[in-house]
Amino acid sequence: MPVRGTIALLAYAASIAAANWLTDRMGLVPVGFGLVVTAGTYAAGLALLARDAVQDTLGRRWARVGIALGALVTLAFSPSLAIASAVAFAAAESVDMAVYTRLRADGWGRAALVSGTAGALVDTLVFLRLAPFPFEWAALVGQLVGKALWATAVPVAVVLFVRQVRRGRVLRHTVGA
């Protein structure tokens, strides 16, 4: 197994477990504008990006291994969250994978952004219905904003910017201006 793939797989499983641990410890937390999110929302959003890295480096089947590993770690502190998380991540991963695979040939940024947003919607809807705390519409909207914008769009933008800097494209445009 390639080192990059191993790192991606471990990051995926760890982000799932971290999201569940934060949610278990802190529940719903306010994020402003009357919205709330599960405390693990940002880690869950990052998990959707890590899933794309697993697919790119190891293939689609390994993404399910990452979900299983994350669920196994979660079982240690919250069996109910482990079940809700595994079902939500599996459903989101299926949607994310279908969208990402179809769009990947057109570039990583677009594929990761669109698939991450689609996966975030599915993950949020399924998880909030199965998680062991009351469903709140403010949590639904808050999680979508947290996952789709802050945990998907912003990291994708940062990765794309760093790639441009590493290729020297950003410096050429700013120095010559």
Q: What percent of the chain has pLDDT over 70?
A: 94
What's the pLDDT score for residue 172?
A: 54
Both structure tokens of 34: 């009357």
Q: Going by C-beta distance under 8 Å and a sequence separation of 6 or more, which residues neighbour residue 35?
A: 138, 139, 141, 142, 145
Model pTM greater than 0.85? no
* φ and ψ of 37, to 5 deg: -140, 160
Express each pLDDT in 113-137 by its tens digit: 898 889 888 988 898 889 877 767 7
Mean pLDDT calculated for residue range 136-158: 78
Express each pLDDT in 32-87 by its tens digit: 788 888 898 878 777 877 888 998 999 989 989 999 999 999 999 999 999 999 99
C-alpha to C-alpha distance for 60 and 33, rounded to whole angstroms: 38
Closest listed residue to residue 51, CA positions, set 104, 130, 105: 104
> What is the band of 171 on the pLDDT scale with cuts at 50, 70, 90?
low
Mean pLDDT calculated for residue range 107-111: 89
Q: Going by C-beta distance under 8 Å and a sequence separation of 6 or more, which residues neighbour residue 61?
A: none
Which residue segments constitute the domains of the chain, with CATH numbers given? 3-175 (1.10.1760)
> What is the band of 148 on the pLDDT scale with cuts at 50, 70, 90?
confident
What's the pLDDT score for residue 117?
A: 87
In the predicted model, what is the mean pLDDT of the chain?
A: 86
* Total H helices, total E strands in the chain: 8, 2
Ramachandran assignment for 37, one of left (phi > 0), alpha (psi -120 to 50 degrees), beta (any other) = beta
C-alpha to C-alpha distance for 61 and 67, rounded to whole angstroms: 11
Mean pLDDT calculated for residue range 78-101: 91
Label each residue of 14-75 as H, E or C.
HHHHHHHHHHHHHCEEEEECCEEEECCHHHHHHHHHHHHHHHHHHCCHHHHHHHHHHHHHHH
What's the pLDDT score for residue 147?
A: 76
